[in-house]
Amino acid sequence: MSGELHESWVAEPSAVPLARASVAAFAQGAGATLDVLDDIRLAVSEAATNVVLHAYLGTAPGPLDVHAHFDGRRLEVEVCDEGRGLRARPDSPGLGIGLPLISAVTESVQISGPESRPNRVTMTFNLDAVRHAIA
């Protein structure tokens, strides 16, 4: 069994819960376990929040795109933007734990950009997994 999801919002705070709910509903429809659904919600929230807070700094908010597909029991989620890319920010309003947290609750995570557009965080989940232990 397989399926795809494509959604887009303006990268504003109100988009974060929409992205989280959309991907969670898609994963639930694919039969994700409750533990995995919690991990997906957390990872998508963190990735989308990073786009809202950092991608379009100093400019008008641009797109926050979410793509997801599953094939068998593996779900891949991409959170994409057209912003400035991943850069260190000593003035960051966040705690700096978003990406490590995403890494802790996913099977794998890859970050690309800004040299290859769009910027993207690609997260992979095993839909049958039990809760990841966060160290």
Regarding beta strands 74-81 and 63-71, do their DSSP bridges make them parallel or antiparallel, or are they unpaired? antiparallel
List % helix, strand, coil for the chain (3-state, nearest 5).
35, 30, 40
Q: Are 44 and 66 in contact (CB under 8 A)?
A: yes
pLDDT tens track for 39-94: 999 999 999 999 999 899 899 999 999 999 998 889 999 999 999 876 655 555 55
Q: What is the pLDDT of residue 93?
A: 56
What is the C-alpha to C-alpha distance for residues 87 and 132, in angstroms, rounded to an integer? Answer: 28
Return the higher-pLDDT residue of 89 and 118: 118
Enter the pTM of the model. Answer: 0.87
Domains and CATH numbers, the chain: 2-126 (3.30.565.10)
Residue 132 has pLDDT above 70, yes or no: no
Q: Look at residue 99 in the predicted model and tell me its pLDDT.
A: 83
Quote the CA–CA distance of 131 and 121 in Å, as a whole number. Answer: 21
The C-alpha atoms of residue 64 and residue 62 are separated, in whole angstroms, by 7
